[in-house]
Structure 1
Amino acid sequence: MPRAQSSCVVDLLLAARRLLDDSRLPHPEHVVDLGSARAVLRSVWAEAMSSLGSGTAPSPELVSMLGEVKELDEQLLLDELAHQDRALQRVRAALAQLGEARTSTALLDTAASTACGLGFDRSIVSRVAESLWIPERVHVERDPAWAEEILVMGRTHPQTLDGRIVESEMVRRRTSLLVDEVQERPGVNRPIADASMSRSYCAAPIVVHGVVAGFVHADCYYQQRNVDPLDRQLLTLYAQGLGQALSRTMVLDEMDQIRADVDRLARRVTDAREGGLGDGWWGHGENGRVTEGAPVTHTGPQRSVVDGFLRSAPVDPSLTRREVEVLRLMATGDTNARIAGRLVISEGTVKSHVKHILRKLGAANRAEAVSHWLRAEHDRSGRGAAGRAGYR
């Protein structure tokens, strides 16, 4: 709010307090932004009209003041509309910036700072995993060290979304929040509240494929003002765009992985034609024979080769499509929690799928199920090769 307009509202309020019952009028310190200024003018107008209705003759000063209230309120309304239009332009610019990201990592690396471009001073982008709220990126205008401190505090003390903190409502209802009096209020993330010294903040859910995958939090610490309903609306729009952008980059990530796996498979076929198997792949030793006790590597290029092999394996007819997806991720060494995160389902649902897989494959545990499935695929591949070579 421009200082000149703020001074005009304060001057008019002081004049009203001299003419009317000052105990029923706001204090000048309440004029902090456009919204509060208009609220003060409404209070002055209501009190003045009440005085006119008392039957006493209105003073010329009071009548003149009513005209000033109306004129100033109209000007503030125009300024508020212009402010909203500029804010929406910032949202459009931020969403366009999100659209430039080509990977999920690149998107998350810029999401927090881009959120501050909406007019906030600080922001936090978090993920939700198995009912845990875990901060991933923090941006603080002017102070990267403070951002790191808040991030470390949030990761060291992840909060459980069990209904005791206000963010649980975002998961349950998929709606944004506006939280005031943070330092005195129960039900907030106390480690982050203490580290950030936030007075008020707004937060919105990041929804991916119909599931709340994370949050965006923001405040106006350096501006020394509380966030307002407009801030909440802007952050809600931004979080919706971020969820759509994340859905897009996840597809791009998967496509890049598939292309990489196809390239590796093509190189393996070339090596096989030339009489060798290159560097080999998971669980296979010299000449492609399965090596007992071969080490399983779950990171780096080797992991990608494993993924490629598992994707290319035929679907076991006794398993559903989702059970095959779970089994393939089990074979790469993923835990139930990580499988749930990758498939965007609950850990309880993963456990149910694992139980069905073990029963259908007649396996006693996860390792036996994976071994049974891969051994069956190896046998099928061997029979296919023998048939093509003329062996019956």
Structure 2
Amino acid sequence: MTEIDAQQNSDARVDALLLQLIHAIRSEIEVAYGNDHEARLQDLLILATEVFVLEQEWRRHWTRNATRRREVLEASLGRLRAYRTESELFEQICVESSRACGTDRAFFACIDRGTWIPSQSFGSRNLHGTAIEQWNGLALQVDALPLESELAGKLRTVVVDTVERKEQAPPPVQKVMQNHSFVITAIPSVGTVTGALYVPFPPRASENDEIITIVERFATGVARIWDRILMARLVKAQQTYVHKALSSTEWIMTSFDTAVDLVQLAGRAGSIATVTESSTVPHSTLENQMTVREREVMSLVSIGKNDNDIAQELAIAPSTVKSHIRNTMRKFGAVNRADLISRYYAFPPR
């Protein structure tokens, strides 16, 4: 039921009550004045004016009250949005729902794969959540609970206002509601019921439609907050998985590059062995083509340091190290690092 529907129903009730009041007053005036039509008409006009003023005042009061309820509802949902875990959310749902609905108590239960699991506390504006230790570990099958089965099957608010239906409620709900009439509203997620919210009816039956509207809006807000928490947890798990996968991939690629370098260096071992000691110094002409930074980088590459170590030692970025190595490889005509080291020491171009 939307807020507009609730207002229309309330307006219809007021109109009906005012019409009954006018008829009753008219009957009393006819008895009092008899055939004095002029006096009777004058009094009726006065009463009609007073009734009209009363009706307008009531409508203004209803609008102010509805605005205040919306503000309280948004404030409760705003506080729940600050929580980042399901346990924090579940702990405060009952308290915030009792505040939002203007009731003195509320109850919440999770519905997970056909199992009804009660909250370990019930909300109260006075008690601010009271733990019930005897509910620890309690889990009931939804199929065995008539009211919750009706809720799960229709995804709509269920009204519990008779003794028979109250007795069908789970024991924790009966204990919290204490024979009060109440409504059960589904907290939906992806087309299924993931939770149930129990809120008592107010003493005045005329407010029932308003309570149902507020409870449904509160439940919808809680469902969105819950979905956000679940999504954030899923994204975090995926980020952790991707980070581990990237780390593993980087380690594998580094190991692979090292293996290739060692193989190619071993292949050149015979040639390197024939090189005289003086040939282990780069050719002066080619060395002059290298920048000071490239020579610094090559001196560290030649002793087996990786890019991160070189970057840390020279106080430059790893990407800058890679750029210097690429430029040096181009000048030496090397195809990879192993080839670059070999050419740098063993085969300097003439």
Shorter chain as denominator, the TM-score bin is 0.5 to 0.7
- Which amino acid letter does the alignment assign opposite residue 92 of structure 2? T
- Asked whether 1:138 is paired with 2:122, we answer yes
- Asked whether 1:123 is paired with 2:106, we answer yes
Checking the alignment, whether the CA contact within 8 Å between 1:165 and 1:189 is kept in structure 2 is: no
Residue-pair matches, total: 238
Q: 1:251 aligns with which of 219, 231, 234?
A: 231
Checking the alignment, whether the CA contact within 8 Å between 2:103 and 2:200 is kept in structure 1 is: yes
Q: CA deviation at 1:74?
A: 1.9
- Asked whether 1:88 is paired with 2:65, we answer no
Could you tell me which residue of structure 1 aligns to residue 21 of structure 2? 44
Distance 1:144 1:101, change over 3 A: closer
Deviations along 1:18-45, one digit per CA (max 9) or x if unpaired, are xxxxxxxxxxxxxxx9998876545323
Secondary structure of residue in 2 paired with 1:207: strand
Distance 1:245 1:161, change over 3 A: same
Distance 1:73 1:212, change over 3 A: same
Q: CA deviation at 1:78?
A: 1.1
Could you tell me which residue of structure 1 aligns to residue 213 of structure 2? 233
Q: CA deviation at 1:84?
A: 1.0
Secondary structure of residue in 2 paired with 1:213: strand
Cα distance in 2 for partners of 1:174, 1:53 equals: 53
Cα distance in 1 for partners of 2:82, 2:228 equals: 11
Cα distance in 2 for partners of 1:53, 1:159 equals: 64
Distance 1:74 1:215, change over 3 A: same
Q: 1:176 aligns with which of 157, 163, 172?
A: 157
Q: CA deviation at 1:249?
A: 0.9
- Asked whether 1:197 is paired with 2:178, we answer yes
In structure 1, stretches of 5+ residues that fail to align are: 1-32, 274-392
Could you tell me which residue of structure 1 aligns to residue 304 of structure 2? none
Q: 2:81 aligns with which of 87, 91, 99?
A: 99
Cα distance in 1 for partners of 2:27, 2:114 equals: 53
TM-score by length of 2: 0.54
Deviations along 1:90-142, one digit per CA (max 9) or x if unpaired, are 22333333333323333223322222231232222211134333222521222
Q: CA deviation at 1:213?
A: 1.0
Checking the alignment, whether the CA contact within 8 Å between 1:127 and 1:133 is kept in structure 2 is: yes
Checking the alignment, whether the CA contact within 8 Å between 1:165 and 1:187 is kept in structure 2 is: yes
In terms of fraction of residues, the more helix-rich structure is: 2
- Asked whether 1:79 is paired with 2:56, we answer no
Checking the alignment, whether the CA contact within 8 Å between 1:176 and 1:236 is kept in structure 2 is: yes
Secondary structure of residue in 2 paired with 1:117: helix
Distance 1:154 1:180, change over 3 A: farther
Checking the alignment, whether the CA contact within 8 Å between 1:178 and 1:232 is kept in structure 2 is: no
Q: Which has the higher contact order (CA 8 A, sep 6+)?
A: 2
Q: CA deviation at 1:189?
A: 3.4
Cα distance in 2 for partners of 1:159, 1:34 equals: 42
Cα distance in 1 for partners of 2:143, 2:48 equals: 51
- Which amino acid letter does the alignment assign opposite residue 248 of structure 1? R
Distance 1:159 1:65, change over 3 A: farther
Checking the alignment, whether the CA contact within 8 Å between 1:204 and 1:216 is kept in structure 2 is: yes
Q: CA deviation at 1:234?
A: 0.9
Checking the alignment, whether the CA contact within 8 Å between 2:118 and 2:138 is kept in structure 1 is: no
RMSD of aligned C-alpha atoms?
4.1
Q: Percent identity?
A: 16
- Asked whether 1:208 is paired with 2:189, we answer yes
